[in-house]
Structure formats: structure tokens, C-alpha cells
Structure 1
Amino acid sequence: MPRKGMETLWFSPKVSSSSSSSSSSSISSSPTLSRFGFNSSSRPSFSDSIIERSLDMAEPMIMKWNTETTTVARVTSLFYENRPEARDFIKTVNNLQKAMHFLAVDDSSSEKLARAQNLMQMAMKRLEKEFYQMLSMNRAHLDPESVSIRSSRTSIGSSLSEYDDDDDESRVANELIVSEVEDASTVAMTDLKLIAECMISSGYAKECLQIYKIIRKSIVDEGIYRLGVEKFNSSQVHKMDWEVLELRIQKWMNALNAAVKTLFNGERILCDHVFASSDSIRESCFTEITKGGATILFTFPENVAKNTKRSPEKIFRILDMYAGISDHRPEIDSIFSFQSTVNIKTQALTSLIKLGEYTRAALNDFESVVSKDSSKSTIAGGGVHHLTTDVMSYLSLLADYSNILSNIFAESPEPAKKKSLPESYFCFADSDASPAPAISVKFAWLVLVLLCKLDTKAKQYKDVSLAYLFLANNLQYVVVTVRSSNLQHLLGEEWVSSHDAKVKQFVTNYKRFGWSQVIDSLPSEPAAVETPEKVGEIFKKFNTLFNQAQRKQSVCVVLDRKLRDDIKVSIARKIVPLYRQFYNAHRSKMERERNFAPVVRFAPEDVEHHLSDLFFGNVEIGSSSSFESSPSISRPSRAHLEKGYTI
């Protein structure tokens, strides 16, 4: 067999160290060697020649790039200057390692082994330098974002599709940029993997990992810092003013997506690639690199939830944080899937739990504040109370987080208050097959607490009709707000219809107590009245009662345009036709009387005009001046609530 053939047999780079060991231990009995005339007695000369050949081939290559012997080797990167030669260098080192393994088994004290060990140390120093330079000089190409781009052709395609088809130059330019970044990243990752595998198989895993961990951990830590995430303990969070803490929360929200999707995801991809040959190495490496930054990131929400004084307006930031973690749970579980990173996933889950607990407690506090509202002043004109506008504005904003709140209350539902209330109020299906969602019950309960408080406030009005108008105004505001927000999806159309009917009932009661005497003063059959005296009495009684009712009701206000028109039309239909019939039937008769003017004070048109002027009371009603029964009802912003919650 030619010498080249034997070299290939013994030192092929595709043969692992374990197989090399197996081959060397069975050299004397190899059938292949027997066919070429080699037996156990010829083994020393055979091994000597092969080992000698291997060392002779390795020495010039390794010495050329020895950092301690040549100036060029000290200032030049092997992989940067000549990648084909770099691959030959790796192949040479792998073959040297196999030769050393054979020598260690055959003659551990030979001079050849000492020579091989010396060459291996030189080679490893070279590879350590190359590994360090590659990680340092390629930071731009090995940053998590570039690695993430390389790993996801889908994201690249999506980003390119955003450009207009007509803008060919822009699209081509961006394709070239993406391709260039991807190619540079791919080359760097491939070379790092080549070096890492060579160093690990040669017994220099510790040196390789030390370099990798130091550089990559600094990149991750720097990335967390640049994203604006800082480490705060419980005491620091507790002492922060809300305005300052809110800015920190906003920074955290902005950082979360980039940290999970780019920073940690890119680091996991790179680590998996470079150390693909060893599951244990890539796990320990990734864990040590990311655990510090990830712990800071996922501990912050827990600290906020545990050390922030509860108040209704703060709940929105808490829900934003909950949504951020919840939305990224799949990526977090995938990226930190190692057993050694379970604490990171546990921390993210703990933060979710604490944020949920804060939310439930804050809503209970909100309920308590509403139920304990002790303001005694009545709203002039029976208008919409500021408690109604504030509570419904708050609930309508909360309803925008209905999906998040559903998860929070599903995870730890409160004791059902529904059972102590009539099913007709909730209007939910009440069966084991279709139980009411916990969050729907919660919102229905909070609205009920408000309505009960409004019932109490209505009793402060001395005039019964004004009390019913107050209830009609406020319930109408509640119904309109529900219809124009996500509350409708939570409470359901049946709930809205039921409370619409209650508004109509309040209006009916208002008309009965406010206008029934005026209506009853007119005879049901106007033409049946015969004597002028009787006619005069009816006119005088109507004048007095209408005057009193009109004067009393002139201060009343109905903010909802549709409700206002409905009430006026309804009252006019009850009064104007009867009065017109009576007026037309007896006007000529009364004109002949001496005191006609004081008796017949209102023409039917006058009555209509007076009624049409009702419910525009010139008073400030609650915290808003008017509202309309339409989906475009104006709602205060979250910022407005956060600046000054008035309950």
C-alpha cells in the first residue's frame, strides 16, 4: 500500500477520536494490514513511520502560525487572511490529535509524544487567538440581530415584501445588504464552530468556553443595558415616584420584545450552532451567558407588582406588562428550554402571577372605593353624576384588556357573587355546559355596584320625579357607554336590552310623578264640558299645574339627545292633543267672557314651545356637558384617568 493510502486510513479528519482509539487498539489484528504483510512483529516500525510522517506534516504548518515565533503570526488572522489554509490547519491539528492518542496508548513516555504535545500546545494557542479575534472582530456580524436574520429566511422575505414592487432599485439594494449580512454571519459562525469542535476534541474545551462566555456574556449584558433595563431591588422600586416608575415600565415594555425575539433568541441560535457537537456544553454555555440579563428582565415586573401601592389608574401599566410576558411565553419557553434555565422560565411565570394578583386586588380596591363613595351633594337638574362618568370611563378602558383580564380571572377566579344575585340581572347562561366567563361576571358586578350607589344617591332628591330622571339619565349613560365599547361583548346584548328597558321604566315613572297632574287636569272628552264656569275652572287649573310643572322641570337636564327627544315627544303627546281639543272646543265661548285673557293663558302652540324648551338646564352636569347616543361617544383617554382619578 502506498504511504498516502495509509495516511488516509489512519488520519482521515472524518474519523472521531473514539474510533481512532478503537483502531489503534486493534492495529495488530487488522485484516487490511495483514493483507499488506504487516503483522504484530512489524507494528513498531509501521507506527513509527506513520507517527513520524504525521508529526513532520504538522510541524511546519503549526510553526508557521506560532504566535511566539513569527511576527506575521502575531499580527495576522489565519482565518481572515487565508480560509483554505485555515481549514488545512484545523485538519492538521485533528490528525495530530489522533496521532497523540495512538502514542499515548502505545508509548506514553516517547519523545514523539512530547514533541506532539508541544506542537498541540502551540496549535491551541493559535486557535485560542483565532477564536478570540473572530468573536471580537465579528461583533457586528455575530450580534443577536444578525444571527436572527440568518436563521429566519421568512422574516427576511417579509421585510423585503414591504417595499413597493415598482421600486426595484430599493429592493435589490436591500436584498444585497441582507445577503451580505447573512453571508458574513454564516462565515463567522461556521469558522467558530470549526475551531470550537477542534479545541474541544483536543481537550481544550475549558479554554474555548472561557473565551466564548466572557465575550458573549458582555454582549448580552451590554444589550440589556442598551435596551434600558436596569437592575432594581424591592426597596428601590418601592421608593420610586409613580411617574418615574412608569417611565421605567415603558422602557421595560420597549425592551421586552427586542430582548426575547432578538437578543436571547439570537444568542441561543449562535450557541446551538457553535457547540452543536455537545448538548451539555451548549446548555451550560448559554445558561451562563444569559441568566444574568434574563433574570434582571423578568424580575422587574414582579418587583413592580409587589412593591407598588395599588390604585385604579396604575392597573393599565400592570396589564401592559402582563400582556408583554404572556404574548412572549412561547418564545421564552422555547429559548430557555434547557433544564439549567428552568429558573428563568419560573421567574417569568412568577411575574405573571404577581401581576395577576395585583390586578385582581386593584379591581377589588376599585369596587370598594365606588361602594364607599359618600358624596352627599345632588347633581342639579338630575343630570349624570361624576361617579357615573368616571366609573364607566374606567370600565370601558379596562374592557379593552378583556382578553388579558379573562386569563387573569380564569387562573384564579374570585368567589362567585353571581349566586347571591338574581340571574335576570346578569343575563348570562347559567348552566354547567356554558358557565358565565369570570371576567364577564366581574364587570357585571362592578356596574351593579355603581347602579346600587346611584340608587342611594337618587334618594337624596326631595322631588320624586327628579329622582327618577336622575336614575334615567345615569342608567342611559351606562347603557350608551356599554354599547360604544368592548363592554358590550363582555356583558352581552341581552344585558343591554334589559337595562334599556329599565331606562324606559325610569322615564315612565318620571312622567307619572312630574306631569300626571297636568295631564289629569284635562277632561278625556273635551267637548262634553257645557257650562262656561266649568270650562273656566279647567283652564285655570291647567294654567296653574302646567306653570308649576314647567317651572319645576325647566331646571332639569337630559344629556342624551335621543332620550331627551323621546321624553319631550312622549309628554307632548299626552298633553298637547287633549289641550288643543279642549282649547278649540271652548275658545270662542271663553272669548265672550269679560276675563278671557287671565283664564286662557296658553294657546296649544305655547304649550308645545314650553315643552320643547325643557331639559336644557343651564347647569354643569357631572364631569361632562353633553353626550350622544351613538357609537362615537367621547371617552377620556387613559392618560386623563392617570392624571387625576376623581372617585
Structure 2
Amino acid sequence: MLQLLNVGEAIAFSPYRPERLFCILDMNAVLADLGPDIDALYANEIGSCVRNKCQDVLRRLGDCVKATLIGFKHDVVSSISTNVFSGGGFHHLISYVLNYIGNLTDYSESLNLLLEDGNREDTVLFSPDLNEVSEEDDVSGSLMSPYFQSLISILECNLEDKSKLYKDDSLLHLFLMNNIHYMAQKVKSCELRTILRDEWIRKQNGKFRQHAMNYERATWSSILSLLGDEGIHNTGSNSISKTLLKERLQSSYVSFEEVYESQTGWLIPDKQLREDLRISTSQKVIPAYRSFVGRYTCYLEEKNIKYSADDLQNHLFDLFERSPRSLHNFHRKANTVPMAKQTFFFIDRTYKEVLDNDVRPRKNLHAFISNAYPPPFIQVMDVFTNYQPLDQESANCKPLDQEFAKMDLGSSSSASKLSVWDEATLSSYNNTSNSTG
């Protein structure tokens, strides 16, 4: 028995290592539970040395626990970094301390017993900011509550200090948003919630949302200003300067590409938070870009528009994956689906004209479309322009609504699908049309 107690004493005298605390607490709890049995087993005078040794080891284990708690708190206070935490994700200190505290709350009963056996000075030593925690605030009734509250307060200050190392305001706010959100979620999911209370969680939720807004402002306000109407008019006139307009659009592309290249290398570990910020950003940037390009389309050439709104939308959803990318070699693909939406009313009107009036559409509609839209739509208009009323039962003609339902205007093989009649019928019709003038 003495040999077993000697092991406990050796552990109590071992060098400070915070990760040993939980083993020491387990050992202390087991030995405290065995205390009555040891007293009964060694009740005679000869056994007094064993009883005394047991009490001495318990006291030393308790002192070791208190020293470890104080040492751990000192480590958090003195954890000063001179290097920026790359990517803006969860800082390892924040996750380590919160996991450590979360595990400690499972030992609250044992820790409270140790503090009850000690002096009130112990709790003051644990919490030098004890005067900041009122009795009304401490609803848990735990003697360890001031320690936990003080440790969280120190962690918040430490986090703020680490954020000041960032020179990029966008990354600074992203870092604080990530870590404050992580702290709030971690506290919410463990026993710390009863100690820090829901009010603390609500306050942290407000803080991380504010940092999310500050991130958006720091990152996107300059790009959004480029997509405004100011500064693109000729001097002393209300007319639009095409040169200034093109320069403004190109500047917005350069700025977007810089953001993309840097922020695809940043990280938001929480999936829901990552999606929420992407969506929020998209709701601000995409409508502004779409509106700007839409307002000034008549002043721009196709080559001036490097990205479609859908392109930008997709690129925004590449951000915060910690996978750096570049858009320098990006080439916009022809996107016929949005154009289909834009011109569908022309096609629909012509289609109705064909079916309802049974007459050939006007030739100038084909010319209008061919000047504005890509080959697939020219193929569509060819169908209408060359339409000859035939009996629907004819082997050479198929109902238009069935054929249009089969068309895939967004595919590379669109043109091959847009011929409704066989070549012989079209050739015959064209010859007839040409001969009649």
C-alpha cells in the first residue's frame, strides 16, 4: 500500500505539465473515495503511518492540481506570438484552451471539493479579475466559475492581440470572425454554457457577425464603388465616356482577380459559416456587377466583358477553401443559357405567330437576332424564317413544340439539334421561295 501511495506522491512532485492534470484529478478522486476503506483497514496504531501517508498524498495531489491550474492560466496569459497565423482559421491556442476548459468542466465537482478544502485565497489567485465577476453573474454556484470566466476573458484579449498582427484588414476580420464564432459554438455545446450564460453567447454572436460585415466592407467596397455610375461621364457632359467605362470595368476585374487569388488561400473551417459568408457576399457583388454591365452593354464590346455574372458567382464559391487559385488564364465560355432567357420572348412571339397565324415570320427578325446573338439562335431563327405550313401528319414535318422541347441551347452540339426538317424539305422549300421572289 505504501508503494502505491509513493507512486501518487511521485506524480504530485513531477514537473508541471498541464496535460497530466486530468490523470491527477482521476487519481485524487479514486484515493479520496478509498479514504474511508483505508482508514477502516488500517485502523490500529500500526496502520497510522498508512493513514497519514494517504492524507498527505491527497493534500499533495490537491496542491498539484491548483498549481497546474495557475500554471495553465499563466501560460495562456504569456502566449504572445509575433507571427501571423496563416489563412485566418481557428488558432491552435484557442482550440486547445477551449478543449482543455471543456474537459475541466467534467471535473467541476472534484475541483470544487479541492477548493472548499483550501483557502479562499486560492480562488482569488485563480482569478485576479474576480472583482469583475459579480455574485449575480455567477449563476452556477461553482467555486471554479471565476477561474473559467477569467480564463475565457484572457483568451478573448489574447485573440484580439493576435489579430493586430495582420496587415490586411480583410484577413484580420476573417480571423476574428472564425475564432469568435468557434468560441461561441464551443461554449454553447458544453457545460461552460451554464457558467458563462446565454448572454455571453449572444454577445459573441453579435461580435462575429460584426466582423463578417467588416470583412465584406474591407474586401468588396472598393470593387462595388468601381461598379457605380460616378466618374464615367465625359467632362462637362452627361454623355458616357467609353474609355473611362472600359477602364473602370477592367479595374474591377483586376481587383476581383486579386481578391480571388488571395482569398482562395484563406480558410473558414466551419462549413455553415463559410456558406453564409459566400452567399452574403454574392448577394452584394453579383447584382451590382449584373446591373453595371446591363446598364452599359451598348457602350461595351464582347471582348470587354471578361466574366459573366454566373462566372463571378462560381468564382465566389471557390473562396475560403485554403486552396489558392488564379484566374489569369481564365477564358469565359460562351453561355447560351442566359442569352436564351434574354431572347426567349422574341422566339416565343415568333413561335406563336407561326402556330396561330400560320404565316411565315418576317425576314428582318432573323437579321436582328444574327447581329446580337451567337450561332445557336441564328439556327433557331432559321427554323422560323424557313417555316412552310405543312400538314402536321406529314412525314417531313414535326410539331415545333416537340422539337423545341428537345433542344439543349446550352450544349456544344446545339446547332445539330436545331434543324427541325430534313435537308430535302428545306432545299425544296428554299427553291420554291426563291423562284417566287
TM range (shorter): 0.5 to 0.7
Distance 1:501 1:524 in 2: 34
Q: Report the equivalent of 1:471.
A: 176
Residue of structure 2 in register with 1:544 after alignment = 254
Could you say which residue in structure 1 is the equivalent of 2:293? 583
The reply to whether residue 429 of structure 1 matches residue 136 of structure 2 is yes
Q: 2:263 aligns with which of 550, 553, 560?
A: 553
Q: Measure the CA separation in 1 of the matches of 2:209 and 2:31.
A: 45
Q: Following the alignment from structure 2 to structure 1, what is the Cα–Cα distance between the partners of residues 194 and 149?
A: 12
Among candidates 563, 566, 576, match of residue 273 of structure 2: 563
Unaligned runs of 5+ in 1: 1-228, 232-296, 620-647
Question: Which of 392, 398, 408 is 2:114 aligned to?
Answer: 408
Matching residue's letter, 2:8? P
Q: How does 1:63-462 map to 2 (within 5 A)?
A: 229=1, 231=3, 298=5, 300-305=7-12, 307-329=13-35, 331=37, 345-412=51-118, 413-415=122-124, 420=129, 429-430=136-137, 437-462=142-167
| CA displacement at 1:616 relative to structure 2 | 0.5
Deviation per residue, 1:336-363 (Å, 9 max, x gap): 6779977655543433222111011112
Corresponding letter in the other structure for 2:23: R
Distance (Å, rounded) in 1 between the aligned partners of 2:65 and 2:282: 50
The CA deviation string for residues 409-440 of structure 1, in whole angstroms up to 9 with x for no partner, is 343342167674795xx697348xx6853312
In structure 1, what is the equivalent of residue 188 of structure 2? Answer: 483
- The question of whether the paired residues in 1 share the 8 Å contact of 2:70 and 2:126 is answered with no
Corresponding position of 1:259: none
CA distance in 2, matches of 1:458, 1:483: 23
Query: CA contact under 8 A between 1:396 and 1:486: conserved in structure 2?
Result: yes
Of 304, 311, 336, which aligns to 1:606?
Answer: 311
Q: Give the direction of change, closer, same or farther, for the CA distance of 1:550–1:356 in structure 2 (3 Å limit).
A: same
Distance 2:109 2:137 in 1: 21
- Give the letter for the 1:414 counterpart: T
Code of the residue aligned with 1:569 in structure 2: it is: I
CA–CA distance in 1 between the matches of 2:55 and 2:202? Answer: 41
CA distance in 1, matches of 2:208, 2:89: 14
The amino acid that maps onto 2:136 is: A
Q: Distance in 1 between matches of 2:77 and 2:66?
A: 17
Larger Rg: 1
CA contact (8 A) 1:371 1:449 kept: yes
Query: What does residue 360 of structure 2 align with?
Result: none
Q: Distance in 1 between matches of 2:10 and 2:128?
A: 36
1:235-261 alpha-carbon deviations (Å, 9 max, x no partner)? xxxxxxxxxxxxxxxxxxxxxxxxxxx
Letter in 2 for 1:399: T
Do the aligned partners of 2:124 and 2:130 also contact (CA within 8 Å) in 1? no
8 A contact 2:2–2:50 mirrored in 1: no
- TM-score if structure 2 supplies the norm length? 0.62
Distance 1:480 1:559, change over 3 A: same
**Counterpart Cα distance in 1 of 2:127 and 2:11:** 32
Q: By how many angstroms is 1:548 displaced?
A: 3.0
Residue 179 of structure 1 is matched in structure 2 by none
| Rounded Cα–Cα distance in structure 1 between residues aligned with 2:116 and 2:147 | 11
Pair 326,356 (structure 1): closer, same or farther in 2 beyond 3 Å: same
Cα distance in structure 2, aligned partners of 1:490 and 1:435:
6
The alignment of Structure 1 onto Structure 2 pairs a total of residues equal to 314
Q: What do the CA deviations read for 1:207-245 (whole angstroms, capped 9, x no partner)?
A: xxxxxxxxxxxxxxxxxxxxxx562xxxxxxxxxxxxxx
The separation in 2 between residues aligned to 1:519 and 1:444, in whole angstroms, is: 42
- The aligned amino acid for 1:497 is R
Is the 1:522–1:538 Cα contact (8 Å) retained in structure 2?
yes
CA distance, structure 1, for counterparts of residue 65 and residue 276 of structure 2: 41
Deviation at 1:369, TM superposition (A): 2.2
State the secondary structure of the residue aligned to 1:400.
Answer: helix
User: What is the aligned partner in structure 1 of residue 355 from structure 2?
Assistant: none
Local SS of the residue matching 1:508: helix
Alpha-carbon distance in 1 for matches of 2:62, 2:126: 20
Query: Are residues 1:597 and 2:308 paired?
Result: no
1:321 Cα shift? 1.0
**CA distance in structure 2 between the partners assigned to 1:603 and 1:552 by the alignment:** 21
1:369 is matched by which residue type in structure 2?
A: D
Shift of 1:480: 3.0
Cα gap change, 1:493 to 1:585, in 2 (>3 Å): same
Could you tell me how far 1:608 is from its partner in structure 2?
A: 0.9
User: Are the aligned partners of 2:87 and 2:267 in contact in 1 as well (CA < 8 Å)?
Assistant: yes
Q: 1:457 is aligned with what amino acid?
A: K
Q: Which amino acid aligns with 1:543?
A: Y
Structure 2 stretches lacking a partner, 5+ long: 325-437
Question: In 1, distance between residues paired with 2:179 and 2:54?
Answer: 43
TM-aligned CA distance change 1:539 to 1:422, over 3 Å: farther
User: In the TM superposition, what is the alpha-carbon distance from 1:545 to its structure 2 partner?
Assistant: 3.0
**How many angstroms apart in 1 are the aligned matches of 2:155 and 2:218?**
25
Residue 568 (structure 1) shift:
1.0
Task: Return the letter of the residue paired with 2:178.
Answer: N
Report the Cα offset of residue 562 of structure 1.
1.2
Q: Report if aligned partners of 2:24, 2:61 keep a CA contact under 8 Å in 1.
A: yes
Shift in Å at residue 542 of structure 1? 2.8
Identify if the C-alpha distance between structure 1 residues 495 and 345 changes in structure 2 by more than 3 Å, giving closer, same or farther: farther
State yes or no: 1:505 paired with 2:214: no
Q: Secondary structure at the match of 1:414?
A: helix
| TM-score (ref. length: structure 1) | 0.43
Identity value in percent: 29
RMSD: 3.4
